[in-house]
Structure 1
Amino acid sequence: MTSARRPARPAYSAYPARPSWAGRNYLLLTGAAVVSGLGSSGALVAGAFAVLAAGGSATDVGLVAAARTVPLVVFVLIGGALADRLPRHRVMVAANTLNCLSQGLFAVLVLTGTARVWQMALLAALGGTGQAFFSPAAEGMVMASVSGSSSGRAFAVFRMGMNGANILGTGLGGALVAAVGPGWVLAADAGAFAVAAGLRAFLDVRAVPVRPGGAGLLADLRDGWREVAGRRWLWAIVVQFSVVNAVIAAAETVYGPLVARERLGGPQPWGLALAAFGAGTVLGGLLMTRWAPRRLLLAGMAGVLPLALPSAALAVPVATPVLVAVMLVTGVSVEVFSVAWMSALHQEIPEEKFSRVSSYDWLGSLALVPVATALAGPAQDAVGRPAALWGCSAVVLALTLAVLCVPDVRRLTRRTEPVVAAAGGPGDAVSQDPGAAEQGAAGRGPAVHGTGGPLR
């Protein structure tokens, strides 16, 4: 008797194949970022309405927002130094836990009707403190969870998921605030932080090399500063974005809503423009999964130039369809820069110093934003809103063109060989091999995301 022949396995699967580079750590990190992004973007809407529901004014809303930003600026350098001394995944889990507790208490106060503005400001400050320790520890971890030639594509996919979660979370947050109130949205955010902490706790860190503790926090911070100051391309772009982020934040958070109210017909056109920007970031991430530019920072700086367009469009002001198109293009360009920038950092910065360098990047990205938003009103009163907006565009263009004059920015090349510092210091460790393969950034071994600041 002949045995029945087993049917051949079909050549297709009912489910799409997982990319070979999407390992366990990558999936955990991406899942955690999507979950926390959904919660946090909804909580931004809920927090503002919670302040107003408690009897606060527009000024109180701004004060609560500032209460979150100030500790983020104050503690981010310490967070970076600690993340290079301690296991980074534990710093991330601890920061997520602090955010979960602060948002949970915030939700309880709002749901019980006992919230006061000072209490909400204090809890927002605790959330900012958690973010200050989380961001440097998380920076680059996604990049290091995949091997060299896939790192750029992996980061682009990660950014797509994160940006998509932010878009969906903002829309859901607004709808849920209207349906059930801000307290339940804040409670959902606390739950999202708990889930994210749980996912990150399961990261496999057995291959992470043990890092020496160093001589102390201050010594570590000085060492991190030397890493930044010794690389011309790095400090030039950090200085550039300290100003670029500030003027764009002023244009889009202060001038944009005013132009929409007075010239475009109300908040709906501005909301549509912001949604187009979010859609552009997703499209930009999709582009960067297919494109791996060899001249990383040259391509990144080309992506920065369109950031001058939204301010110019508001200065005219253009019709709503044109503004929407401008914001869509800007969203795409932001992602081109973000992926190129993270690929460059991942390639050039030693793993054991990555969080310290990242903390200086975050500090530069955030430090001037409160100053610029505070001065936006007086600047408008002094020169008029159109002139102020044209000035924002001019600043973005001038600084970007100035950075393009830095030779290291134009020459830094994607490579797969390990970084070798030149005799002149870390700033000269720039690949100039015109024949380097157009592949992803070199894997630097397990490191532990975040792109600094509002745009990165």
Structure 2
Amino acid sequence: MTAASAPGLPARPSGRNYRLLTAAAVITGLGTHGALIAAAFAVLQTGGDGGDVGLVAAARAVPLVLFLLIGGAVADRWPRHRVMVAANALNCVSQAAFAWLVLAGEPQLWQMMLLTALCGTGQAFFNPAAEGMLMSSVDRERASRAFALFRMAVQGATIGGAALGGAMIAAMDPGWVLAVDAAAFAVAGALRAFLDVGHIPAREPGGGLFSDLRDGWREFIGRPWLWSIVAQFSVVVAAVGATESVYGPLVARDDLGGARPWGFALAAFGAGTLSGALLMTRWKPRRMLLAGTLCVFPLALPAAGLAVPLSVTGLCVVMFVSGVAIEVFGVAWMTTMHQEIPEEKLSRVSAYDWFGSVAMMPVATALAGPVESLIGRDRALWGCAVLIVVVTGAVLFVPDVRRLTRADAPAVVTGRGADRPLSTDPEGSLGRLG
């Protein structure tokens, strides 16, 4: 049984759960995007270098990788809204402690790494639960538009959060930005406590947590379109993460004039994602994954722009373009997951998706500083751009990435089963395993 076919599921994106999820995501988005900038500049403010910025970023990513799969299994076993609230509480406490340390004096590197790791742990449990909760709150007919509207609201918060964060850091201590993020997690967690999970069918008794993980793995590995794109994004996310978490702030400090221009560049990326989400409220590409994958190529532009480096205006332009492109992919990807994955396995499959996508992030951010010292910042940035282009081109060779279609799209058959939605082809290689 899929989310779209389960009786009793909300039938429109304007439902109560959808509104609560959107409002909470907007609030945390306003705080988090400024806090990411603040964390990098807090490290630099204490005399740290690019390697230290990379270590703090890696400290966030390591527990995210380690606990994601467990977080997905937990979210499919227990009420998802309770998992989300608990994760928000942990994020609130860790960010508040980080803010206090920065405001009270010079925090030690190990302290910043520890608190950032706690924040990453909260995200590991939150992300699969949140994605499963959102997907179970809309029906198939409205899924694409609902996801686009949700992402448009969140990316609107990204614009404000990044711009506000950059402006606040330029005017005051980064610790105040971290304090705002802690308050945002507290408010968002309170909203998510009111989510209703009564519409989600009761889970069948299972064989335990590890049995759930194996079941999710079978669901994941049996779909070539799924694991191939996740493998692609393990490289893409690592390259983008190293660019934005480490090299971007360093280029901003050395060549662009400090935190404010980098905040503007990140805000331009947010404006691009907002525009891309607006586009996807109207455009419903028949071959979802093909359209989405083609839009991953522009993610190489920011790394190339920083390598040149472009002026602040030029960097904002390429960040805007990449934002539009990734939002097209994001809506197409969420719609595909909603269409193809059974509701009761959404969080587990989402966890494997997140795990694969961020698995290389800790290595990339930790090595970004040493790689810069070894080959130079410009070459490191060009290397990130080339990696994104190569792995994205490779995934286009997977037939299912090119041929998967929306379930409500008219079939155009040019060969044996050429353009049928995968969910209606149970005898094919991508038939559901669960």
Q: Structure 2 length as normaliser, TM-score?
A: 0.84
Q: Distance in 2 between matches of 1:77 and 1:239?
A: 16
Bigger Cα displacement from structure 2, 292-301 vs 189-198 = 189-198
Alignment of 1:241-320 (within 5 A): 241-257=233-249, 270-320=262-312
1:57 positional shift: 2.4
Q: Distance in 2 between matches of 1:336 and 1:84?
A: 27
1:133 positional shift: 0.5
SS of the residue corresponding to residue 208 of structure 1 reads coil
Partner of 1:409: 401
Q: Distance in 1 between matches of 2:112 and 2:381?
A: 33
Is 1:422 paired with 2:414?
Answer: no
Aligned partner (choices 57, 61, 65) of residue 48 of structure 2: 57
Change (3 A) 1:292 1:48: same
Q: Distance in 2 between matches of 1:254 and 1:241?
A: 19
SS of the residue corresponding to residue 149 of structure 1 reads coil
- RMSD value over aligned CA atoms? 2.9
Q: Distance in 2 between matches of 1:429 and 1:85?
A: 20
Alignment of 1:145-224 (within 5 A): 145-177=137-169, 179=171, 181-224=173-216
Is 1:351 paired with 2:355?
Answer: no
**1:125-169 deviation per Cα after TM superposition (whole angstroms, max 9, x unaligned):** 221111110111111432332222211111111111111212212
Q: Distance in 2 between matches of 1:274 and 1:364?
A: 25
1:238 positional shift: 0.4
Identity %: 64
Change (3 A) 1:174 1:247: closer
1:176 positional shift: 3.6
Q: Distance in 2 between matches of 1:353 and 1:339?
A: 20
Bigger Cα displacement from structure 2, 89-98 vs 117-126 = 117-126
Change (3 A) 1:206 1:128: same
1:194 positional shift: 1.7
Change (3 A) 1:320 1:240: same
Q: Distance in 2 between matches of 1:36 and 1:141?
A: 16
The amino acid across from 2:14 in the alignment is A
Bigger Cα displacement from structure 2, 92-101 vs 371-380 = 371-380
Change (3 A) 1:263 1:42: closer
1:386 positional shift: 4.7
- C-alpha contact 1:421 1:429 (8 A) present in aligned 2: no
Is 1:24 paired with 2:16?
Answer: yes
Q: Distance in 1 between matches of 2:29 and 2:12?
A: 25
Partner of 1:446: none
Residue-pair matches, total: 410
**1:393-452 deviation per Cα after TM superposition (whole angstroms, max 9, x unaligned):** 332222222211111111111114994562456x2459xxxxxxxxxxxxxxxxxxxxxx
Change (3 A) 1:162 1:45: same
The amino acid across from 1:57 in the alignment is G
Aligned partner (choices 105, 128, 139) of residue 97 of structure 2: 105
Which is higher, the Rg of structure 1 or of structure 2?
1
Q: Distance in 1 between matches of 2:200 and 2:377?
A: 52
1:262 positional shift: 6.2
1:388 positional shift: 4.1
Q: Which runs of 5+ in 2 are unaligned?
A: 1-10, 409-420
Q: Distance in 2 between matches of 1:188 and 1:315?
A: 32
Q: Distance in 2 between matches of 1:93 and 1:374?
A: 30
- C-alpha contact 2:166 2:262 (8 A) present in aligned 1: no
SS of the residue corresponding to residue 135 of structure 1 reads helix
Partner of 1:442: none
Q: Distance in 2 between matches of 1:51 and 1:389?
A: 21
1:281 positional shift: 0.8
Q: Which runs of 5+ in 1 are unaligned?
A: 1-18, 431-456
The amino acid across from 1:360 in the alignment is Y
- C-alpha contact 1:79 1:359 (8 A) present in aligned 2: yes
Q: Distance in 2 between matches of 1:82 and 1:109?
A: 32
